[in-house]
Amino acid sequence: MTSIGTGYDLANSIFSPDGRNFQVEYAVKAVENGGTSIGIRCKEGVVLAVEKIITSKLLKPNANKRIATVDRHLGIVYSGMIPDGRHFVDRARDEARAWRDTFKTPIATADLASRMGGYMQAYTLYQSVRPFGITAIIGGFDPSTDLPVDGEVGRGPSCGAGGKVPGKTFGGPGLYMIEPSGLYWGYYGAATGKGRQAAKAELEKLDLAGPGGESLTLEQAVKEAARIIYVAHDDNKDKDFELEMTWISGPDGPTKGLHQEVPRALREEAERLAKKALESDDEDEDGKMEE
Amino acid sequence: MEFGNSGFLNEDGIHLDMDRLKKGEVNLGTSIMAVTFKDGVILGADSRTTTGAYIANRVTDKLTQVHDTIWCCRSGSAADTQAVADIVKYQLELFHMMNGKPPTTQTAAAIFQEICYANKDMLSAGLIIAGWDERHGGQVYSIPLGGSLHKQPYAIGGSGSTYIYGYCDANWREGMEEEDAVNFVKGALREAIKWDGSSGGVIRMVVLTAKGADRHLYLPDTDYKVRHA
Amino acid sequence: MFRNNYDNDSVTFSPQGRIFQVEYAAEAVKQGSVVVGIASKTHVALVAIKRNAEELSSYQKKLFPIDEHVGIAIAGLTSDARVLSNFMKQQCLAHRLTYGRSMPVRTLVDMIGSKAQINTQHYGKRPYGVGLLVAGVDDHGPHLFEFQPSGMTEEMVAFAIGARSQMARTYLEKNLDKFADCDREELIRHGLKALKESLVQDRELTVDNTSVGVAGADKAGVVEPFKVYDGQEVSAWIESVADDKEAAPAGGSGEGETMEVDS
């Protein structure tokens, strides 16, 4: 670490002579020690998954949820310092609420990502605060139909309004990842935390940006997400873990546009397949060794 | 009897100033409306502005643009509605810049409502918001005195509207052609102007479609028949 | 004066991404005497060792009722615990006023979690130097939560924090499977046995140094309010876990009946 001892890394918001903010880079280190989080975006919706490392046998199984619902159609998962993540989620809920209050309509995933990116960035600007020790993945499904109006009186006109542009589509699935610096991008598949390298490699194989993303169903995405978390965990098998998964489909899909936990039956099926896939992978590798 | 301008009951405990206008305040004693049609939405209004019995302006423009294809019809206090429209206009421009996409009519209506409801004790503003956007086509929202928000296929407002409920109910049709919709608005406003003493002057319209905003003007001199530039 | 340059405040990350001030605050928890909590399907119990500064002084309280349905056990700086406890009491009261019913335990715990997190991200603040075990019952039955100075909160089946608490945790881990079906008395005895594991050589559980707190919800959903037992009230429990009684069959001790007279 060239940064150590120079003094430029002792306070937030300080630039080093070569233009780096070391405290932000150290915050990223906190993320890299956390359990792996991933998000997959496909045509039908978004899946979020997280590897929850079991730090103690005394933890109540399946009781400590890590993926948060921020609005009806929005979910956030994060890796790194969990209390920081909770704070981040609280803020995201406030933003979603404020948007609804002002514009009487749900916030778009892209708009929430923008707001939260700004919030994260603000914590890199001052010596009086430290950056967030998390990287967050935001998933959502924006309504593809007419935007609903919150608190509308009555049901509104039964007839459709005239002059819509034909053939244009709106809304759809959204996936964004925000880093401690406040930097964020939209993703087809996103991964962060300890196992991100392995997870990214697996995500890339899905070819989500190309035909892979077109053909992948939401249920398949759930199974891939489970498998990827298992693969990402395999590299550091020191501790046991719990898999938590949520999904968001469009209004015609299984969650009817809401962010929800993946049903237990499907999650367990996905985990069974994930374990099976891992075993057969191991066998393959063993086979190669013998050649 | 002086009714005061507080909006509260007068000292006789019976009368109150319904319009809550100050003595001498400029009033848009008005006929306004907006209708959806096949390709978008049309806003229409008379042009009379009064202070008491005196006509302060006979060619007022009560159709105010708050964004490219989002407009509003103003009734009530001229000062209040101008101020509210100015604030919303600013907010929508800010929205467009911050979010990189134009606001929807519904967003505009929501901001109008927020202001009208939060300040309901101080404002006398009856507004109709109408606009066109790619996603929703033409839309009409009405915000009457209390600050509630109503999404409607068409809306009428102002003092003159009381005379044309029957006319509109009998003649409005869903998905009209532009020409029919213009004639419907014109016919309705002509009746309103005829019967309402506080309405009069010219008829102004704005047609909002995918092609943008198109302004119409009809004068009483030609019996509102000819469209002027 | 400092161990390194990165441990002066809670707004500086170390090059490894650690915040030493928060880790040091966690050490303060280990300075406090041990407290144990266990939850079953029907009850949740807290037990604690109280310390006295000297032979003739009184003992420092370890268990605090928060609301009818919630109580806490503390390890670390008592004055910090008092701040959190007051905050929790206020929140519970406000929730009752607004919603006309008791606050869900998780909601309450999340609130102190958020509150504590702020102290780890702003200059001029310090993390709370106390760890809590929060025991409570709500519509979903009994709950036990651990709270750390970092703001981390987690729901546990059983847990122990404070000095030498690792021994108690080992006991709890060994007996983990038994807790769910324990009745009220068995649960308390497990708690006391775990507590004994953490005692310093030659120290014993006495009526003076032992506190017990219980809350419960039976199958009909009726709640047994959280109550703290001290002094002679705990003597029967202490006796029932005395070393020479270890082999004796459980149950039959009469303390439960007399204590529930006024509940």
Q: What number of other Cβ atoms are within 10 A of residue A17's Cβ?
A: 7
Q: What pLDDT score was predicted for residue A160? A: 57
A23, A58, A87, A128: best to mutate for the C interface, most C CBs within 10 A: A58
Chain CA centroid to CA A161, Å: 36
Which chain C residues contact residue A29 at CB under 8 A?
13, 15-17
Contact assignment for A4 to C15 by CB distance below 8 Å: yes
**To 5 degrees, how large is the angle CA B14–CA B20–CA B23?**
100
C-alpha span between B23 and B5 (Å, rounded): 7
What sign does the dihedral B18-B24-B26-B28 (CA atoms) show?
Answer: positive
Q: Which two tokens stand for residue B37?
A: 């049609």
CB C185 within 8 A of CB C162: no
User: Cβ–Cβ of B135/A164 closer than 8 Å?
Assistant: yes
| Contact state of B107 with A103 under an 8 Å Cβ cutoff | yes
Residue B21 has pLDDT above 90, yes or no: no
pLDDT tier for residue B225 given thresholds of 50, 70 and 90:
very high
Whole-number mean pLDDT of chain C?
91
- At C122-141, the pLDDT tens digits run 999 999 999 999 999 999 99
Between B3 and C191, where is the model more confident? C191
pLDDT for the residue A110: 96
C-chain CB neighbours of A58 within 8 Å are 156-159, 169, 172-173, 176
Query: Which band of pLDDT confidence, cut at 50, 70 and 90, is reported for residue B16?
Result: very low
Taking an 8 Å cut-off on Cβ atoms, the answer to whether C176 and A57 are in contact is: yes
The helix or strand, by DSSP H or E, that contains position A244, with its residue range, turns out to be strand A241-249
Chains A and C touch (3+ CB pairs under 8 A): yes
In this complex, the residue of C110, C117, C159 whose CB is nearest that of residue A58 is C159
Cα of first residue to Cα of last residue in chain A, in angstroms, is 42
Q: Which two tokens stand for residue B179?
A: 């020409």
* CA–CA dist A112, A92 (Å, integer): 7
Q: Token digits for A202?
A: 């697996």
CA–CA dist B174, B152 (Å, integer): 12
For an interface test with B, the pick among A101, A109, A115, A152 (most B C-beta atoms closer than 10 Å) comes out as A152
- Residue B12 confidence (pLDDT): 66
pLDDT in tens, C202-246: 889 999 999 999 999 876 666 799 999 999 999 999 999 987 665
Over residues C195-201, the mean pLDDT reads 93
DSSP A166: T
Which site among B37, B92, B104, B151 would you substitute to test the A interface, given the most A Cβ atoms closer than 10 Å to its Cβ?
B151
Sequence-distant (6+) residues with CB within 8 A of C161 are: C29, C32, C34, C35, C75, C131, C133, C146
**Continuous segment of H or E residues that includes residue A25:** helix A22-32
**Band of pLDDT at residue C252, cut at 50, 70 and 90:** very low
CA-CA distance, C131 to B128, in Å (whole number)? 58
Least Cα distance to B69 among B162, B138, B145 occurs for B138
Predicted local distance difference test score (pLDDT) of residue B29 = 78
Give buried/exposed letters for B122-143 (b at 16+ CB in 10 A, else e). Answer: ebbbbbbbbbbbebbbbbbbbb
Neighbouring chains to B with at least 3 Cβ pairs closer than 8 Å: A
Identify each DSSP E strand in A81-225 by its residue range.
134-142, 172-178, 184-186, 189-192
Q: Can you read off the two tokens belonging to residue A59?
A: 């933890």
CB B78 within 8 A of CB B27: yes
A144: its two tokens: 């593809």
> Scanning every residue of chain A, which has its alpha carbon at the shortest distance from the alpha carbon of C171?
A58
Nearest to C149 by CA among C95, C207, C235, C80: C80
* Residues of B taking part in catalysis: 30
Neighbours of C57 (CB within 10 A): 9
Determine the distance from the C-alpha atom of residue B168 to the mean position of all C-alpha atoms in its chain, rounded to a whole number: 16
Partner-chain contact C12 A29, CB within 8 Å:
no
What are B46-64's pLDDT values in tens digits?
999 988 888 889 999 999 9
Q: Give the torsion sign (CA, C91, C96, C99, C104).
A: positive
CB C158 within 8 A of CB C57: no
Distance CA B23, CA B3 (A): 9
Statement: residue B145 has pLDDT above 80: yes
- What is the layout of strands, in order, in the sheet containing B32-37? B154-157, B32-37, B40-45, B203-209, B212-218, B227-228
Would you say residue C260 has pLDDT above 50? no
- Residues of C near A (Cβ–Cβ under 8 Å) read 5-6, 10-19, 39, 110, 113-114, 116-118, 120-124, 144, 150-152, 154-159, 169, 172-173, 176
What's the whole-model pTM score?
Answer: 0.89
The rounded distance, in Å, linking the Cα atoms of A127 and A120 is: 14
Mean pLDDT of C143-172: 97
What is the β-pairing status of strands B54-57 and B63-67?
unpaired
Q: Which residue has the tokens 């004066």?
A: C1
Decide: A96 and A71 in contact? Cβ < 8 Å.
yes
B214: confidence class by pLDDT, cuts 50, 70, 90: very high
Q: Are the Cβ atoms of A83 and C113 closer than 8 angstroms?
A: yes
- With 0-12 CB in 10 A as exposed, 13-18 as middle and 19+ as buried, what is B10? middle
DSSP 3-state of B72? strand
Cross-chain Cβ contact C151/A83 below 8 Å: yes
Strands (E), B87-229: 125-133, 137-143, 150-152, 154-157, 203-209, 212-218, 227-228
Q: How many C-beta atoms surround the C-beta of residue A105 within 10 A?
A: 18
Coil vs helix vs strand at A136: strand
Backbone Cα Rg of chain C? 19
Q: Is C39 in a helix, a strand, or coil?
A: strand
Tell me the CA distances in angstroms from A245 to A10, A47, A75, B67, one per residue in order. 38, 7, 11, 43
Q: How far apart are CA A220 and CA A230, in angstroms?
A: 15
Strands of the A241-249 sheet, one edge to the other: A189-192, A37-42, A45-53, A241-249, A259-261
Confidence of residue C254 (pLDDT cuts 50, 70, 90): very low
Identity (one letter) of the amino acid at B65?
Answer: Q
- For chain C, the residue count is 263
If DSSP codes are grouped into helix, strand and coil, which group holds residue C145? strand
Chain C residues near residue A244 by CB distance under 8 angstroms: none
Chunk chain A into consecutive blocks of 10 residues (it has 291) and report each block's average pLDDT, rounded to whole numbers. Answer: 81 93 96 96 97 95 97 98 98 96 90 97 97 98 80 60 79 97 98 96 94 91 97 76 97 95 98 93 58 40
